[in-house]
Structure formats: C-alpha cells, structure tokens
Amino acid sequence: MRVDYRFCPGCGSRLLPREVEGRWLPGCPSCEFVAWPDPKVAVAVLAHDARGQLLLIRRGTPPAQGEWALPGGYVDADETPSEAARRELLEETGLELEVERLEGVHHVLVGDGGGLLVLAYVGRLSGGEGRTTPEALELALVDPASSPELGFSAHREALAAWRAGGD
C-alpha cells in the first residue's frame, strides 16, 4: 500500500519535489521531512504438521481472492515479525504455531508503486482448532512437493526455498 504525501505531517507545509541522494522525492521546504517510499512488512507462514504436510489457505479476500496461499499478513508496529506470524496464523485458521526459523526475506513490488517485504517463517502446527474464516475460506494440508500453485510470488519463492532446504 503506497501513501502519497502532499503536505508535511510535521508542520503542514505543501511538499515540493526535492533531490535526495540522486532521487526526486516529496520534501518539506520548511523542515527536514522527506516522504521516503518505504515498504510495508508482512509475514508468510510455512506451517507444517508432524507428518511434514504444509498448511495452505484458500483466500477469501483480495488480492488473490479464491487462490491458494500461505497464511500471513502485515506486521503490526507493536509486535515482532515472529509474533505476527503466530498471530496471523491463529486469526486466519484458529491454529497455533511453534516458530522454528526464518526461511527468508522476499521483496515484492506492488501495482501502485509500493513495495512489500515478506518475511517467511517455517513453523510446526502446535495446537488450536482449525476453522475457516472470512480471510481463509478453506484450509488444506498438502504434500509440499505437490502443492497447488500459490497466488503470490513471494509465497511461491518461499515454498521453493523451503523445498530446496530439505526441511
């Protein structure tokens, strides 16, 4: 999600184009504020059961509505990324996660010119009662080697890296 600033959030002055480190960015003529196009941070969860089956969700909301995906979502400012992975899994599926490790970090450019960093975590399903939600219309445990096509490039990259790592 990209935010286009027109006014300085500090002093209210209209932002003007300013060259900063070789880039033209909206900058405040009255103070030092520059509207850097920072990426949002999200998590994706490679959650597996004791048999090594991977949990997938069929998305109930855009983007990629109706497609298969890893559970996940945005990291809130007051939580660590691994806490976000556990929270997102619980919110979307009712299942609990024991985080094992960070699989990797994946960068995605989104259609509105914004960026997204997706931190993919591997973890073991550790409890809870699986259920569908508006975000996850269907849950499936699948063989990671033959999973259906995932709706997000970062999820496909994370799954490929996990498969290659032999976990």
Q: Do 107 and 134 share a domain, yes or no?
A: yes
- pLDDT of res. 38: 85
Sole residue written with tokens 């006014």: 7
Q: Are residues 68 and 109 in the same domain?
A: yes
Verify that 10 and 89 share a domain, yes or no: no
Q: What is the pLDDT of residue 5?
A: 85
pLDDT given at position 113: 64
Residue 165 pLDDT grade (very low, low, confident, very high; cuts 50, 70, 90): confident
Residues 113, 49 share a domain? yes
Phi, psi of 159 (to 5 degrees): -65, -45
CATH code for the domain of 27: 2.20.70
- Whether 2 has a pLDDT exceeding 70, the answer reads no
Contact 39, 114 (CB under 8 A): yes
Give dist(CA 16, CA 57) in Å, integer. Answer: 44
What number is the average pLDDT over the span 87-105? 98
Instruction: Please say if the pLDDT value at position 1 is more than 50.
Output: no
Counted domains in the chain = 2
Q: Using one digit for the tens of pLDDT, what is the confidence trace for 50-71?
A: 999 999 999 999 999 999 999 9
pLDDT at 162: 95
Q: What is the CATH classification number for the domain harbouring 48?
A: 3.90.79.10
pLDDT (average), residues 67-89: 98
CA distances to 4, 23, 35, 49, 113 from 20, rounded to whole Å, are 17, 5, 11, 49, 19
Q: Which of 117, 118, 115, 139 is nearest to 45 (CA)?
A: 118
| pLDDT tens string 3-53 | 678 999 999 999 999 999 999 999 999 998 999 888 999 999 999 999 999
81 and 141 fall within a common domain: yes
Confidence of residue 139 (pLDDT cuts 50, 70, 90): very high
Per the structure, the complete domain to which residue 2 belongs is given by 1-36
From residue 81, alpha-carbon distances to 115, 130, 154 in Å are 17, 22, 16
On whether both 46 and 32 belong to a single domain, the answer is no
Rounded to whole angstroms, how far apart are CA atoms 134 and 45?
18
- What is the Rg, in whole angstroms, of the alpha carbon atoms belonging to the chain? 19
The yes-or-no verdict on residue 167 having pLDDT over 60 is: no
Reading the block at residue 152, the tokens are: 């997000």
In the chain, at which residue ranges do the beta strands (DSSP E only) sit?
A: 16-20, 23-27, 40-48, 54-59, 68-69, 72-74, 95-109, 115-128, 136-142
Give dist(CA 36, CA 126) in Å, integer: 40
- The reply to whether 47 and 117 lie within a common domain is yes
Q: How far apart are CA 65 and CA 98, in angstroms?
A: 27
